[in-house]
Chain A
Amino acid sequence: MRVAYLDNYAASPLPPEVREAMLPWLGESYGNPSSLHSWGDKARMAVEESREKVAALIGADPEEIIFTSGGTEANNLAVKGIAAGSRRKGKHLVVSAIEHFSVLHAARSLEKQGYELSTVPVDGHGRIDLDALQAAIDEDTVLVSVMTANGEMGTIQPIQEAARIAAQKEVPFHTDAVAAAGHLPLDVKEMGVQAISLSSDLIYGPQGVGALWVKKGVRLIPLLDGGVQEGGRRGGTENLPGIVGMGKAAELARRKMAARSDHLKSLRDALISRLPQKVEHVYLTGHPTERLPWNASFVVEFIEGEGMLLFLDQQGVAVSSGSACTSRALKGSHVLTAMGIPPERAQGSILFSLGPQNSMEDIDYVLEVFPPIVERLRSMSPLYAKYVKERG
């Protein structure tokens, strides 16, 4: 059977170059970067080399990179660590309504501990309301966090403008760049931000490793107390193969960004233009142009996401959905809700997340197998029956 893996936001195949770079550290090479002997030296050098590569991806100073266990830890460290570092200054946080749960829930956890939380709304395209952001910041605000781009619906945020607003009020600005890094050129100086979260797997590195960049001068309290690894900002023996893999992935991302983006955009735009021609009542979610190269997200009216996902899986196609039924918590996507998409329509959420390994044949194949699936689910749907009756 033909297969088309279009769920690269969840996981993606590891490029052979990354695997090759990691393999020695899963075999003949070993050592603890904290050890003083030559085994330790070699391990330390591997970590530092990766740190330079990751820093180069965002135009940062390598000393300001902290390796973590992934994007979730990086976001938690940024939100909780910066808040704790400035608790004498104030107890107010500002985040956008469409943040990843690792920012949103970290902020809500602080709220339970007595912090105040302001959530900044987005428009129908998922772009943050800059006036509302400006209004939300007060003398008590210690952190603003707005993601660079949203992985669920693809919209790229006006980060420079948002960061400028925070800078005028001298509040540290963190951006979760997990979904954007490796696909959009990011430069910490141009962006004007003070902290950036990255995840290895979203730049086609291994899972289970990430990084937080924090500008010198921003006070950060560690989440994990332990040894003096990562400059005392994150205790625990380093995930050596993971860090080496992330370094290689960052190097490749920098070198191949333009070519990968062009390729991904051509696939994305083919899906975005051709799917609505094949299926009625399908709507793009997120911004029509200011969107991630790999993201083609839609809502399909009158049916629910899990059914689409399971039928597509039977045809060898992997996708994901933000419908309530597909989430383990059985809650509809807070991102689609924040954009004003009504809950019953959000139930029809479907996300095609493209990767460098995908081809136009994959898109052709999906466009061939998907319309009959929609038709099949609509033939069972009481909502579609009602619509047809009303249409007459």
Chain B
Amino acid sequence: MAIYSDTVMDHFTNPRNVGEIEDADGVGEVGNPVCGDMMTFYIKVDDQERISDVKFKTFGCGAAIAVSSMVSEMAKGKTIEEALKISRNDVAQELGGLPQNKMHCSNLGADALHLAIEDYLSKKGKGKDE
């Protein structure tokens, strides 16, 4: 059996939403290249607190790229409240499973998304204070 599911290979081969958003409302970065994986997520949030656009850039293995792509798809169109509920396990499940040894190190997409949302919320909070 191949180490990755067909869904993982599809997202790795044709990753959705690769890129950056110049005027992003929130940016989240996780990992570091030393440990192997690094992901940056960019989000745009509309008036209804809905994630209208997501982009990512990822340095890492096939799983890390597939995870990023899947998270970007899952998050798009969701409210930030809903998006904050996306867990690492949800992502792995949607991908048809991940190899055990990749569950921890490469499955950082949800964390990066949550950081981008927190970044958005903290920027918004600061905006209100002014």
Contact = CB atoms under 8 A, between A and B. Distances in A.
Nearest to B34: A343
B62 A380 contact: no
Interface in B39-69: 39-40, 57-65
A325 B12 CA distance: 15
Given A382-B57, A383-B33, A307 B65 contact: yes
A246 B13 CA distance: 41
A40 B63 CA distance: 53
Contacts of A383: 33, 38, 59
A310 B57 contact: no
A304 interface: yes
A117 to B, nearest CB: 26
A325 B60 contact: yes
Nearest to B12: A310
A302 B57 CA distance: 12
Contact of A326 (B33, B38, B61): B61
Interface in A295-345: 302-304, 306-307, 310-311, 314, 323-326, 328, 330, 332, 343-344
A382 B36 contact: no
A331 B106 CA distance: 13
B18 A380 contact: yes
B100 to A, nearest CB: 10
Interface string A363-383: 000000000000000011111
A174 to B, nearest CB: 33
A72 interface: no
B15 A380 contact: yes
A336 to B, nearest CB: 13
A3 interface: no
B40 to A, nearest CB: 5
Contacts, number: 67
A304 B36 contact: yes
A304 B60 contact: yes
B29 to A, nearest CB: 8
B61 A303 contact: no
Contact of A347 (B36, B39, B57, B62): B36
A45 interface: no
A344 B61 CA distance: 13
A303 B13 contact: no
A23 interface: no
A302 B60 CA distance: 10
A304 B64 CA distance: 10
A325 B61 contact: yes
A323 B59 contact: no
Contacts of A306: 61-62
B59 A381 contact: yes
A310 B18 contact: no
B13 A380 contact: no
B94 to A, nearest CB: 20
A385 interface: yes
Given A330-B105, A347-B33, A385-B20, A307 B39 contact: no
A51 B57 CA distance: 56
Given A380-B57, A381-B57, A385-B20, A307 B62 contact: yes
29 contacts: A304-B64, A306-B62, A307-B12, A307-B65, A310-B62, A311-B13, A323-B36, A323-B61, A324-B35, A324-B36, A325-B36, A325-B37, A325-B61, A326-B61, A328-B101, A330-B36, A332-B36, A343-B33, A343-B34, A381-B57, A381-B59, A382-B29, A382-B39, A382-B40, A382-B57, A382-B59, A383-B59, A385-B20, A385-B57
Closest A-B pairs by Cβ, 7 of them: A344-B33, A325-B61, A306-B61, A382-B57, A324-B36, A343-B34, A382-B40
Interface of B: 9, 12-13, 15, 18, 20, 29, 33-40, 57-65, 101, 105-106
